[in-house]
Amino acid sequence: MFFVYILESEKARKHYIGQTNDLEARVKRHNAGKVASTKYGRPWILKYWKSFETRSEAFKTEQLLKKFKRRERILKFADENDFRGIAQSGPVPLLRNEDPRKT
């Protein structure tokens, strides 16, 4: 399973869009400062995610989201396309192999 996710940084007043096959580990890397493009916005809050069966599907959705420049348009797309969301900073409270759509 693959995920497209949207992170927000209140500190930097920015968002970050990415895709991964391990959502929990990826958010931990962002908040640990191990991702160059998000190092200075910590802490990052996982706002939305959506799971996909293939990396190809996830990549296409990630690229589409990255074309949107305005935060409002990105969040509207997430709302309209069945993305799930949480409002929690730091590590994602997911267990391995748990489908976040069910939480």
CATH number for the domain spanning 29: value is 3.40.1440
For residue 101, tell me if it sits in a domain.
no
- Domain residues for the domain of 82 are 2-91
Peptide bond into 43 cis (omega under 30): yes
Please count the structural domains in the chain. Answer: 1
Compute the residue count for the chain: 103
- AA letter at 53: E
Distances (CA, A) of 33 to 27, 28, 46: 10, 9, 15
Kindly state whether residue 102 falls inside one of the protein's structural domains: no
Averages of pLDDT over runs of 10 residues in the chain (103 residues) are 94 93 96 94 94 97 94 91 67 44 43
Q: Does residue 99 lie within any of the structural domains?
A: no
Residue 103 is assigned to a structural domain of this protein: no
48 SS3 class: strand
DSSP state of 9: E
Q: How do residues 19-48 score in pLDDT, each as one tens digit?
A: 999 999 999 999 999 999 999 999 999 999
Counting DSSP H helices and E strands in the chain, the numbers are 3, 4
Does the global pTM surpass 0.75? yes
